[in-house]
Amino acid sequence: MVKVKKVISGALEVNCYIVYDDESLKAALIDPGESGSKVIAEIKKERLEPEILINTHGHFDHIYSDDQIRKEFKIPLAVFKDEVEMLADPYKNASKPHTDFALSVKNPKILFEDNQEFKLSFTAFKVIHTPGHSEGGICLLFNNFLITGDTLFAGNIGRTDLPGGNIEKMRQSLAKIKKLRPDITVYPGHSSQTTLANEFCHNPYLK
């Protein structure tokens, strides 16, 4: 059975998600955030075997420990094709001038396309390009849950005033999400999980 484990990572409390199979223990790691050692410790505690690292978008709070994770588990990094430059550029990923470090993550091995069906050894998901918070932001649609990064939160949406943000593109991305089944569980990049049914009823941006 495919399960989802959340690890809250870093000062900005990014939700790192570990999607894994409870029989094979194969896993996918999504948005490790700043607390790489914490994420690694959780993976080892559960004896999981990550096979891919995915970034939903390129802002520094989500990608900070990418290199640490890649080195530890020898796994490829996957991002949307339009987000490669943001990961590598400290000004576009907002590590400069907002922090005292210049973050640059390079050489992702897998570049996603919109509507791509991507197969892992234990499950599969669909890549949905959802620009608005960043140009190459994505949501990941599994069978009964959606990982939304900083596109959709419980009761809110991601900011559009950071590098790569665009309010009109965000509206178009939300229109894509509104077409999905309401029974889907939503795992956002920050704060608590929700359902699309709840967001359709109570989120002012989805009404």
Local structure of 2: helix, strand or coil: strand
CB contact burial 134-159 (16+ within 10 A = b; e otherwise): bbbbbbbbbeebbbbbbbbbbeebbe
CB contact burial 167-182 (16+ within 10 A = b; e otherwise): eebbeebbeebeeeee
Neighbours of 133 (CB within 10 A): 28
Domains and CATH numbers, the chain: 2-202 (3.60.15.10)
Q: What is the reported pLDDT for 98?
A: 79
Note the pTM of the prediction, 2 decimals: 0.97
Q: What is the reported pLDDT for 101?
A: 87
60-86 per-position pLDDT tens digit: 999 999 999 999 999 999 999 999 999
Q: What is the reported pLDDT for 129?
A: 98
Q: What is the reported pLDDT for 207?
A: 83
Quickly list H helices, the chain: 36-45, 60-63, 66-73, 84-88, 167-177, 196-202
Q: How far is CA 184 from the centre of its chain?
A: 17
pLDDT in tens, the chain (207 residues): 999 999 999 999 999 999 999 999 999 999 999 999 999 999 999 999 999 999 999 999 999 999 999 999 999 999 999 999 999 999 999 999 778 889 999 999 999 999 999 999 999 999 999 999 999 999 999 999 999 999 999 999 999 998 789 999 999 999 999 999 999 999 999 999 999 999 999 999 998
